[in-house]
Amino acid sequence: MPKTHRLDRAQVVAAAAEIADARGLEALTLAALAQRLEIRIPSLYNHIDGLDALRREIGLLGLRDLDVQLTRAAAGRQGTDALRAVARAYFLYARAHPGRYLAAQRPAREPDPELETAGANIVDLLRTILKPFALSARDQIHAVRGFRALIHGFVSLETTGGFGLPVDVDHSLERALGWFFEGLDHPGRTPRNRTK
Amino acid sequence: MPKTHRLDRAQVVAAAAEIADARGLEALTLAALAQRLEIRIPSLYNHIDGLDALRREIGLLGLRDLDVQLTRAAAGRQGTDALRAVARAYFLYARAHPGRYLAAQRPAREPDPELETAGANIVDLLRTILKPFALSARDQIHAVRGFRALIHGFVSLETTGGFGLPVDVDHSLERALGWFFEGLDHPGRTPRNRTK
DNA sequence: TTATTTTAACTAATGCATTTAGTTTGTCAA
DNA sequence: TTGACAAACTAAATGCATTAGTTAAAATAA
């Protein structure tokens, strides 16, 4: 009676990622996935090791795809131009694939080399772009973190509805990046608003 | 047979928030909560409208407590001093109450005036602090968003293990805020790294 | 071609969590 | 003292994830 379905792991993960993007990560259940694939729930266990492992797979997929997009955006650009292009690509990816992006945020309970490598690749890309800036090794790390935090913060606050006002979020990100780059480019000025 | 427990809604939410902070938001189940309160699961429905509504309550509690902490931190301070103090308080709160903070991030599916008000209060605080800066109305909104995104980004990436390198995260936040404030204080400089 | 192994489907059954309905018992106020 | 309400309870339904064991189809090897 078993049908001639012949699915493989990649197809299962891809279908799961589409559900997560379209209906939200919390709507991704084995029941929903099995229904979309037209198989019974237990059959999924031939391809994946349960729901939690599936979420990890989706996050890993998202992280790797994100790296591809960011690398492409940075190609042929330098300095703040490259950073702006990367930020734009980051934002577009997270908007287009909110489920994968959220899954990539999931904290790992054990050390996970594959996830760590995927994350480190993105960090390396940013460090490469930041090379021309006159930053100490320590400051370079701070700058990468600040850049990531700024973009991720915008993405995260937007997707959770944190921005209530009817002002364009893209424009806010552009402006905030501008201020951040300003400081990166011209460090060590006299503070004006520290004490009024 | 019913015991003389006499719980009320606030106690139930408080106990739930403690579980969420101590063991993670995903570990907050009605079973765990009922066990801690030494009542049966269905009795919880006398106080709260199910698990999802409970998560909302915890998020609202977190948002309001966060506002109190930030307001306290800003008292008696101005300009970037006030912003740094607020950032520090924000960070400390999110670290001390990760469950409540994460619950506050939960997207609302319907308009939720209570949550919106709690969020708007924090935004208003930041706008007040930013008054002395010479910013247009539009730029003030961008600055508030950038500030929130930067802090939330750091908090979020830290709690999800996004920072792999053994470099102090607090220090990275300080440095990133410094660059951001630099740009806020000295807008409109000539970009150096735009084209090398 | 035929035999064997592997893959991927299936059914059956268990356990846990959320939720609803209906019931009982203390507590407080009239 | 009595009556009403609040808050506990038991019983039961539903849905999801998971495991165990089984079967058929496809791929591979003789």
Check pLDDT > 60 for residue B190.
Answer: no
Check pLDDT > 50 for residue B196.
Answer: no
Separation between Cα atoms, residue B133 and residue B121, nearest integer Å: 20
| pLDDT at A133 (0 to 100) | 93
| pLDDT at A186 (0 to 100) | 80
Beta-carbon contacts of B143 under 8 Å, excluding residues fewer than 6 positions away, are: A175, A176, A179, B130, B133, B135, B184
The pTM for the full model equals 0.94
| pLDDT at A196 (0 to 100) | 36
| pLDDT at B185 (0 to 100) | 86
Shortest CA distance to A24 belongs to which of A53, A63, A58, A48? A58
Separation between Cα atoms, residue B152 and residue A191, nearest integer Å: 24
Query: Do residues B159 and A153 lie in contact, with contact meaning Cβ atoms separated by under 8 Å?
Result: no
Average pLDDT over residues B112-139: 96
Question: In the structure, what pLDDT confidence band is assigned to residue B186 with cuts at 50, 70 and 90?
Answer: confident
Check pLDDT > 70 for residue A191.
Answer: no
- A42 beta carbon to strand C: under 7 Å: yes
Alpha carbon separation from B96 to A149, A166, B22 (Å, rounded):
20, 32, 9
Q: With an 8 Å Cβ cutoff, is B143 touching chain A?
A: yes
Which of B142, B159, B194 is nearest residue A176 as measured by Cβ atoms?
B142
- CB B157: neighbour CB atoms within 10 A? 20
Shortest CA distance to A11 belongs to which of A75, A54, A72? A54
Shortest CA distance to A148 belongs to which of B152, B89, B174, B171? B152
- B46 beta carbon to strand C: under 7 Å: no
Angstroms from A34 CA to nearest CA on chain B: 24
Check pLDDT > 70 for residue B195.
Answer: no
Indicate yes or no: CB of A150 within 8 angstroms of CB of B150: yes
Pair of tokens at residue A89: 């690509």
Check pLDDT > 50 for residue B1.
Answer: no
Separation between Cα atoms, residue A142 and residue B132, nearest integer Å: 28
Which of A80, A157, A183 is nearest residue B149 as measured by Cβ atoms?
A157
Pair of tokens at residue A174: 């552009």
Q: Dump pLDDT digits (tens) for B8-60.
A: 999 999 999 999 999 999 999 999 999 999 999 999 999 999 999 999 999 99
- SS3 of A152-186: the string is HHHHHHHHCCCCCCCCCHHHHHHHHHHHHHHHHHC
Which of A106, A141, A149 is nearest residue B154 as measured by Cβ atoms?
A149
Measured CA B164 to C1' C9 distance, in angstroms: 41
- SS3 of B119-161: the string is HHHHHHHHHHHHCCCCCCHHHHHHHHHHHHHHHHHHHHHHHCC
Using CB atoms within 10 A of its CB, is residue A46 exposed (0-12), middle (13-18) or buried (19+)? exposed
